[in-house]
Each structure stands twice: as C-alpha cells, then as structure tokens.
Amino acid sequence: RHLAYVIYTSGSTGTPKGAQNEHRAIINRLTWMQKAYALKATDVVLQKTSFGFDVSAWEFFWTLLEGATLVLAQPDAHKDPDALVNLIISQRITTAHFVPSMLISFMDAKGVDRCTSLQRLLCSGEALPADSVHKVRRVLPWSGLHNLYGPTEAAIDVTAWSCPDDFDGSIVPIG
C-alpha cells in the first residue's frame, strides 16, 4: 500500500491534482498487461512517452519486469514520425504506444510498412478513430492493435479492447 508515484492530471474534473498510485495498483496493472500481451525477454519496447504521462510507467516497469530491452527515444521524437519509423526499423522495436493522433501521423510516414518488427501497438489517451484501425490493419497486418482506456488515478488503464484483423466497424470500443 506504499506510494509508488504521483502524476499530476486534471482528469475529468479540469482541476489539477496529484494522482497517487500505490505499488499494489501498478503491480496489478503490470500483471494484467503481461497476461494480456505476453512480453518476452526478446521483445524491444520503445519508450517515448513523457515521464509526466502515466503510460511511461508501464513502458519502463513492464519492460524491466520481463527482462525485455527498453529503447529510449530522443526527447521530442514523438513529434517526428519519420524518425520514429527509422528508430523502429533500426532497433527492431516490437512494442510501442501511440496516442491516436500520433498514430495517425505515424501511419502516414514514409516507410511505415517496413516496420516489420512491430508486434504490439497500444493506443490510449484519446478516442481511437475507426479509420486508424482500418489503416493499421491494411499497412501493418502483422501487428496487434490494442485500444486501452483509463484514468491516471487507476494506475494507467482499466479497460482494453484488441482490434480484430477483420474489424470493419465505425466506432472502436474501449473494452
């Protein structure tokens, strides 16, 4: 029940506050994530999320708990889709997180279809448009695409939905 970290958020209230997460909450989240996505020691996870955003917690801790490789992107790399494509290809990244608006930019980058090492794309932080799912399914059909949702106060995410290969919907569920 000891405090693991505090991340500041306005959450759904619009009023800034420090969300306090205990060790048991983040361990519960990471245990679920491992059962759901089975990271292996041979996986390579891209860490590009700002430390002030709760997703960075799983990028670090999940990778380290499973003995996988963590590749740290250069600061502000998330703003350069072409650089991300090159990093993913050169470092053989298997797992990456994108907020949906960045996923759209990434999917429009030249050479994204050469990111053949990508096995897991996790999205959260915004609503995931169905058009993005359709594009990922067309361009990166070997990659699992997962839509997650949750408030910072709940140790990152509380719902998840794996986008099926044959997804043809107009609304993407959150779990």
Enumerate domains of the chain plus CATH numbers: 29-163 (3.40.50.980)
Structure tokens at 26: 């983040």
pLDDT at 100 over 90: yes
Share of the chain above pLDDT 70, in %: 99
CB 17 within 8 A of CB 6: no
**pLDDT tens per residue across span 101-154:** 999 999 999 999 999 999 999 999 999 999 999 999 999 999 999 999 988 888
User: 81-91 and 100-107 are packed helices; what angle lies between their axes, rounded to 10 degrees?
Assistant: 80
Integer Cα distance of 47 and 94 in angstroms: 12
pTM over 0.85: yes
Centroid of chain to Cα 165: 19
